[in-house]
């Protein structure tokens, strides 16, 4: 979270004023984005995963922000129960 806030300050979307913090632009997904430093951290963590876990995450990302285990399972050729348990393990 600190990285996201620092990025917003760096880009001038947030600024400190005498009365507190002020937003200079609307905050939406397109505005906030993912700071490069956080993007690199996520990439490193992803690359440490086993190939099967990477494939599972790739299938889930294609399925969307909200997805079912059955949708991911269909994308990687496993049972919904197996996909569900693997997704739960990765979420931890």
Residue 29 has a pLDDT of 58
Closest to 73 (Cα-Cα) out of 63, 85, 83:
83
One digit per residue, the tens of pLDDT, for the chain of length 92 reads 788 788 888 888 889 999 999 888 877 755 667 788 888 998 999 999 999 999 999 999 888 888 899 999 998 999 999 999 999 998 88
CA distance 3 to 40: 12
CA distance 80 to 85: 9
CA distance 48 to 33: 23
CA distance 20 to 80: 49
Would you kindly state where each structural domain of the chain is located, as residue ranges? 1-48, 49-92
Closest to 86 (Cα-Cα) out of 66, 56, 59:
56
Give the pTM.
0.62
């Amino acid at each position: 979270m600190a990285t996201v806030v620092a990025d917003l300050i760096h880009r001038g979307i947030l600024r400190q004023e005498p009365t507190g913090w002020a937003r200079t632009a609307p905050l939406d997904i397109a505005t906030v984005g993912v700071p490069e430093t956080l993007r690199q951290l996520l990439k490193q963590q992803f690359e440490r995963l086993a190939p099967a876990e990477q494939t599972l995450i790739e299938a889930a990302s294609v399925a969307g922000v909200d997805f079912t285990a059955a949708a991911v399972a269909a994308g990687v050729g496993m049972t919904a129960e197996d996909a569900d348990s693997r997704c739960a393990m990765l979420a931890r």
